[in-house]
Amino acid sequence: MSEDRFKLHPVAAVVDFVKGLKELILPFLIIFFANGFNVTFNPGDGSFWASIVPLGIFVLVIIVRLINGVLKWWTYVYWFEEKELRVEYGLLVKKKRYIPFDRIQSLNYKEGIFHRIFGLVQVMVETAGSTNGKPEVILTAITKEAADQIELVTRKSKEEEYENELQSETGNSVEKAQAPSSRVIHKMNKKDLLVLATTSSSMGVVIAGVAAALSQFAEFIPFEWLFEEFSDFIKFGFVIVAFAVFVSFLFTWVIAVIITFINYYDFTVIEENERLTITRGLLEKKRVTIPLNRIQAIKIVENPVRQMFGFAAVAVESASGGFGGEEKKITLFPLIKKSRLFKPLHELLPELEWQQALTKPPKKAKPFFYRIDFVWLLPVIALCSYIWFPYGLFSLLIIVPIILLGLWQFKTTGYAISGNQLTLCYRIFSRVTFVVEKKRIQALESRQTFFQKRREIASVEVTVMSGFTGATAKALNLETRDIEEMMSWLEKNDHLK
């Protein structure tokens, strides 16, 4: 195998530098706000050093980051040797990492703005040991031809090893398999993006972001003048005020649509050779590959708005690292009609059942879904009623939605066991259906309080491997005998036969 050593593209130094700057933004803003927005360069002023010292430290850190990015690019090399992808970098401290091709599970790609300008790609190498959401190796910036070469060398090595194993077992030569066909499982159109933006939390994020920005500049905002202007504005009548509110929400919706459009543009799921490939993004194009055998569980999520209109989102709990960075959870279908949901899921995972009758909690468990809220809610209501009497008594009204939410959770909760499959259904606000095979379960834990024990009910929590801490699902206040049946089902080893 060729032992030629390859370097990253020089853009890798820029990408690492910009990434370092992004990490410095928050500390810089904290220092800037703590200084009261005062930056003065008058040596006669006592605040000169208070301004120049933090600024000097910030500039020094930027220079160090830039030098670090250049040094990492200058020393970073990768090559192929002895059926391994080998990486080496570092000036004073040499770091080496050797990854056998047979351990490589997937190669995930990301194309940021700098990558797309120069026709480059970032490659994240996932292995069977990548359980903490971080790839084993990140090639920050290489050409697409170099990325294709890595994928080609990896695939050829795996095919040769498989053919050799099969030949040693059968004693016959193995014909070369034809190139696997691919099929599109799901693709989002522009209408789906509009519905996704409207029913997701993007609008709340926009509102929260505007509120946070305004809070930082509160001392510069003339609230008294705004209040007077608003009072005069109200005099124009209810219709004008309602129109202004409508325009504000319309503006928020447009911003949410733009954010969603940028993030999920051309969202496509393709199945090929026992792998799922998910691509998306407008400004930053991303591609992640998930081997089907690394899928630990499927999570179907329906928030109240989407449930009302018959939509759902599907997430994959996987041992892979997702898109990297903060996006460690993999979304399979960001938005899909529930009536069209089960067909693609059945095509991908035909061994699982997607529509089952659930065993529900007993009626005696109904109060347990809302009584715990009263432990902290009643003292708050009492305090509000005492301090703001008599208007504080209106806080009693919060009891009604708490009880209704508890009853809604009671109605949603349930479980089903079918063969080697466990399905849990529950909700906090969104309805979650958690589907997992027995062999994927890392832990199944039963919990029972003193009061639950008196009523012969208990709660159960299942954990699967996903990311660093794993993913969990809970079903609260089920019959004790149902929990025991679930435990007994897990102890049987029929899935190994």
Distance of alpha carbon 224 from alpha carbon 244, whole angstroms: 20
pLDDT at position 224 is 59
pLDDT at position 203 is 60
pLDDT at position 34 is 57
Beta bridge partners of 438: none
pLDDT at position 218 is 47
Name the residue ranges covered by the structural domains of the chain. Answer: 6-169, 190-264, 268-361+413-492, 363-408
pLDDT at position 136 is 85
pLDDT at position 201 is 65
Kindly report, residue by residue over 407-428, the tens digit of the pLDDT: 999 999 999 999 899 999 999 9
pTM: 0.77
pLDDT at position 19 is 82
The residues of the chain scoring below 70 in pLDDT are: 1-3, 26-55, 128-133, 161-181, 201-241, 319-329, 467-469, 493-497
Kindly report, residue by residue over 93-143, the tens digit of the pLDDT: 888 899 988 888 888 898 888 888 898 999 998 886 655 557 888 999 999
Kindly report, residue by residue over 329-357, the tens digit of the pLDDT: 688 999 999 888 898 898 888 889 988 89
pLDDT at position 461 is 94
pLDDT at position 495 is 46
